[in-house]
Amino acid sequence: MRQTREQMEHAEFSQLAPYAQSSRASGGRTHPEAAHPFRLAFQRDRDRVLRSRAFRRLEYKTQVFLNGTGDHLRTRLTHTIEVAAIGRTIARALALNEDLVEAIALAHDLGHPPIGHSGEETLDRLMHDHGGFDHNEQSQRIVESIESPYPDFRGLNLSFEVIEGLKKHRAFFDPPPNRAEAGPYPSPSLEAQIANLADEITYYSHDLDDGLDSGLISEASLAGVPLWAECADLARTRFPNLSTVETPAAIIRTIIDREAEDVIASSATAIAGAGVRSVDDVRRHPELLIRYSQPLLAANQQLRRFLYQNLYFHPTVAEVNHRACERLERVFEAYLASPNLLGKATATRLAEDGLHRTVCDYLSGMTDRYLIEEHERLFGKSVT
């Protein structure tokens, strides 16, 4: 037995909630393409992201700790995979489109530069007079323009709904060209909203895990964080014979479950209360409907403050990232002074994108390792 795309679309449409984004109701692609015989639109998008060069480079990009500083510490790639997994869990529980959530999740960090958020802040400062730098906008730029594996168009030509999911923190979103008369709308699809919260849930949990694994934070220091204390009690109640070694992992699993279960319950209540009946109703709704409960939202804010104070700004992390950002700035200035140092493919974009944006694109695509190697090539190992 085999299933055609049309049969898959029918099954998807019948199984999803009426306000879910179905594949067959997609706003389409910028460059029209024939539908695939055996893959739904968002499955095709997922596969295009997975096969992109930008996705492969995420393996060697910083999450919190500079890549290469620990074999078990997260990279931008493992973070992305975990976001997709949590996003699919929430989408399935709410009868929403798992394939769309996964495609957005896998693409959401393609625009992250080397050295994580420190690298992003450095590039934004260096690009202050030339449009700035934001990793969310860069993710969109990568899939729409920079990646060019197809002969007929630039970019990956992803579906409208995946691009919508990459446009975070917008006041209004623009409709697809074939529905331009609908005008701007205030909210993205529920699937895009899930990918956004799944990102938060993922980094809350795995940054705790990596912080503990690295020894930069301790269980004792976390005792005063309400969410950690609550989930520690739940884990020890459920597993009373936990060893000291097993305890942190059990608590972090409990935190993930607590977060996901809360989002599912709170979102289901919000969706029902909003009375939405279609994906268009969702987009016209003035508030996001995928959300935490108020108590968990407050608890997450406390956890976030703890992580910033005790992990992200920890001297061991900050000093390493600061030195790497100095290298980033020196290489940036060297490329501006000598554009011939850019790769041939990148140099072809100078006329269209300008020198500063072309250099920024090239640098933001680098892995941590390549940035360090390029700095050594240009300035030698003895220069700090």
Q: What is the pLDDT of residue 249?
A: 93
- Taking the CB of residue 319, how many other CB atoms lie within 10 A of it? 10
Question: Within 13 Å and on the Cβ side, how many CA atoms surround 59?
Answer: 6
Q: What is the pLDDT of residue 71?
A: 63
Q: Which of 78, 54, 31, 30 is nearest to 361 (CA)?
A: 54
d(CA 245, CA 249) in angstroms, rounded, equals 8
d(CA 366, CA 361) in angstroms, rounded, equals 9
Q: What is the pLDDT of residue 383?
A: 47
Q: Which of 95, 281, 87 is nearest to 189 (CA)?
A: 281
Per-residue pLDDT of the chain (384 residues; tens, 9 = 90+): 788 899 998 989 899 999 999 999 999 999 999 999 999 999 999 999 999 999 999 998 888 766 666 666 888 999 999 999 999 999 999 999 999 999 999 999 999 999 988 999 999 999 999 999 999 999 999 999 999 999 999 999 999 999 999 998 898 999 988 787 789 999 999 999 999 999 999 999 999 998 998 899 999 999 999 999 999 999 999 999 988 889 999 999 999 999 999 999 999 999 999 999 999 999 999 999 999 999 999 999 999 999 999 998 888 888 888 999 999 999 999 999 999 998 888 888 898 999 999 999 999 999 999 999 999 999 997 544
Amino acid letter at 335? Y
Amino acid letter at 302? Q
Pair 208, 307: CB distance under 8 Å:
yes
First to last CA, the chain: 63
Range 152-189 burial, b when 16+ CB lie within 10 A, else e: eeebbbbbbbbbbbbbbeeeebebbeeeeeeeebebbb
d(CA 282, CA 28) in angstroms, rounded, equals 18
Neighbouring residues of 185: CB distance < 8 A, sequence distance ≥ 6? 172, 173, 175, 283, 284
Q: What is the pLDDT of residue 68?
A: 60
Q: What is the pLDDT of residue 73?
A: 80
| 335-343: long-range contacts, CB 8 A cutoff, minimum separation 24 | 335/359, 335/362, 335/363, 341/378
Q: Cα-atom radius of gyration of the chain, to the nearest Å?
A: 22
The CATH architecture that domain 5-318 belongs to is: Orthogonal Bundle (1.10)
Q: What is the pLDDT of residue 344?
A: 81
CB-count exposure of residue 194 (10 Å: 0-12, 13-18, 19+): buried
Looking at 223-286, list the stretches that DSSP marks H as alpha helix, in order from N- to C-terminal side: 226-238, 247-274, 279-284
Question: Within 13 Å and on the Cβ side, how many CA atoms surround 121?
Answer: 10
Q: Which of 324, 362, 326, 357 is nearest to 341 (CA)?
A: 362
Query: Can you give the pTM of this predicted structure?
Result: 0.95
